[in-house]
């Protein structure tokens, strides 16, 4: 079977997919050639259309051999056996991943043009390509879709090589394929018109589908619907993985700035974030540095860089979530939070420091305007002294809170709970004040 072009193939494929009787499916096209096919499938099903971008991670000296793959929102699949067989070190893997992550983000920016990814969690997902030769990219895309929460993954293609299709049948819930020719050499031989698809065509098809899709209630009311779970924060062009949680009716959002040697996965910060989430505050935990940067001790203690990243991440968040922003900083992250909040246009609602090093931001402390709570362990003598001295330089509302008997990491029974409770009280108190206060002069609108 030969197809006139991709759009004609998509219309035929849509008829077969429709026979499955799927309930509220989501159609994902593989760029570039899969998107025109997917557009007709989505239109026929009355389903939303999105793109699924994946990048294979190739062994540096043998790029065609993949040791893993990455997808959107921080999804990362690593074949440990291949890594070991190729003798790759952590730095080798990180370098390849950074290059591919940058390309992935570039493509997403061109394709989506500011639109958010349609969440896959709990959805029936139909992954569409214009054909399958080896099946490697389709396989990775389906695996990434599962990692992003898809409940059921269906692969739909007009034409495929028999061996590749047989393998894929074992990896997905269902396969829809119109033609499986015995003598298969390339996808293009089964199309009369197999012209190259450009990025602009992909972007135009996605934009057209987005315009045709009814807005969700939150979008219709003018509120930006944020992603939840794993996100990729754009900090001035640097992609940094994060964890975003947005409870229903959140009063504000707390951005965490972790300390040296820590990350978004810090168990102490996540414990505090859980307490805040249960009380109705949104939270964002994200890595301030890339994996390569985190191995550079100079960057780990570069407070100016950390503050810049925090400010950039705050801008990224505000474009997606119309809530007042607070900062929670630990160790060096607390210095970064204070320095970022000292910027003239920062407008941070409140700051909490846990075992922080405000002395590392001493030159900017007098410019901080956000109400600041410095929490220190009573048994952390040196840091307690540094915080008390720093408090004397603050010109904003501030307080030093001491957790009796706690050391620097607050590992003693009940110590971290005391931190979380104090932080919750500080944030909610000042967010409540902002919610009831009249707008500042620079926030008032002209009639």
pLDDT number for residue 435: 52
Q: What pLDDT does 214 receive? A: 54
Range of lowest pLDDT (7-21, 290-304, 378-392): 290-304
> What value, to the nearest 5°, has the Cα angle with vertex 333 and ends 327 and 334?
60
Query: Measured between alpha carbons, how far is 66 from 140 in angstroms, rounded to an integer?
Result: 11
Q: Token match 């060096």: residue?
A: 332
Q: Report how far Cα 266 is from the mean position of its chain's Cα atoms.
A: 17
Among 151, 157, 161, which residue's Cα sits nearest to residue 175? 157
Cross-strand pairs, 329: 257, 353
> Confidence band (pLDDT; 50, 70, 90) for 433?
low
Q: What is the pLDDT of residues 394-430, one digit of tens each?
A: 999 999 999 999 999 999 999 999 999 999 999 999 9
- What whole-number distance in Å separates Cα of residue 257 and Cα of residue 229? 18
The pLDDT value recorded for residue 225 is 40
For residue 396, which of 444, 341, 357 has the smallest C-alpha distance? 341
Burial class from Cβ neighbours inside 10 Å (0-12, 13-18, 19+) for residue 372 reads buried
Most trustworthy range by pLDDT among 261-275, 294-308, 354-368:
354-368
- Tens digit of pLDDT for each residue in 196-244? 999 999 999 999 998 876 544 444 333 344 446 788 888 877 888 889 9
Residue 442 has pLDDT above 70, yes or no: no
Does the structure show a pLDDT above 60 at 293?
A: yes
Q: What is the pLDDT of residue 437?
A: 47
Sheet with 152-159: strands ordered across: 49-51, 26-29, 124-128, 152-159, 174-179
Q: Give the domains, in start order, of the chain with CATH numbers.
A: 6-212 (3.40.50.2020), 223-443 (3.40.50.1820)
- Strand 324-330 to 351-354 pairing: parallel
Q: What span, in angstroms and rounded, lies between the C-alpha atoms of 373 and 78?
A: 41
Predicted model pTM: 0.52
Of 4-18, 114-128, 401-415, the least confident: 114-128
Q: How confident is the model at residue 64 (pLDDT cuts 50, 70, 90)?
A: confident
């Amino acid at each position: 079977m030969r197809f006139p072009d991709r759009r004609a193939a998509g219309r035929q494929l849509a008829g077969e997919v429709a026979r499955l009787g799927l309930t509220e499916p989501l159609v994902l096209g593989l760029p570039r050639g899969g998107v025109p096919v997917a557009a007709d499938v989505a239109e026929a099903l009355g389903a939303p259309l999105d793109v699924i971008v994946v990048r294979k991670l190739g062994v540096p000296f043998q790029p065609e051999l993949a040791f893993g793959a990455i997808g959107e929102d921080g999804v990362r699949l690593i074949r440990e056996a291949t890594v070991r067989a190729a003798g790759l070190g952590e730095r080798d893997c990180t370098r390849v991943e950074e290059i591919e992550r940058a390309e992935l983000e570039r493509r997403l920016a061109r394709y989506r043009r500011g639109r958010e990814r349609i969440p896959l969690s709990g959805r029936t997902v139909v992954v569409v390509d214009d054909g399958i030769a080896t099946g490697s990219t389709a396989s990775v895309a389906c695996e990434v879709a599962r990692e992003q929460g898809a409940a059921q993954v269906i692969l739909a293609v007009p034409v495929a090589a028999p061996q590749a299709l047989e393998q894929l049948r074992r990896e997905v819930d269902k396969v829809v394929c119109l033609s499986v020719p015995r003598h298969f050499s390339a996808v293009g031989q089964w199309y009369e018109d197999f012209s190259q698809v450009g990025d602009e065509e992909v972007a135009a098809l996605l934009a057209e589908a987005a315009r045709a899709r009814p807005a969700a209630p939150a979008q219709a009311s003018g509120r930006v619907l944020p992603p939840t779970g794993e996100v990729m924060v754009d900090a001035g062009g640097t992609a940094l993985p994060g964890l975003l949680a947005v409870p229903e009716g959140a009063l504000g959002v707390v951005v965490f700035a972790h300390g040296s040697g820590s990350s978004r996965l810090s168990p102490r910060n996540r414990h505090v974030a859980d307490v805040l989430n249960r009380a109705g505050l949104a939270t964002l935990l994200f890595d301030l540095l890339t994996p390569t940067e985190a191995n550079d001790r100079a960057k780990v203690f570069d407070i100016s860089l950390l503050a810049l990243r925090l400010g950039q991440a705050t801008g990224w968040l505000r474009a997606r979530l119309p809530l007042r922003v607070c900062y929670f900083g630990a160790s060096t992250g607390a210095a970064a939070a204070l320095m970022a909040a000292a910027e003239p246009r920062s407008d941070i609602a409140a700051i909490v420091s846990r075992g922080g090093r405000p002395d590392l931001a001493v030159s900017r402390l007098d410019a901080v305007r956000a109400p600041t709570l410095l929490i220190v362990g009573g048994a952390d003598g040196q840091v307690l002294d540094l915080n008390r001295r720093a408090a004397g330089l603050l010109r904003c509302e501030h307080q030093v809170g001491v957790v009796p008997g706690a050391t620097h990491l607050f590992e003693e029974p009940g110590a971290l709970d005391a931190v979380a409770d104090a932080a919750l009280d500080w944030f909610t108190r000042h967010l409540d004040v902002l919610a009831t206060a009249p707008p500042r002069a620079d926030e008032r609108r002209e009639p």
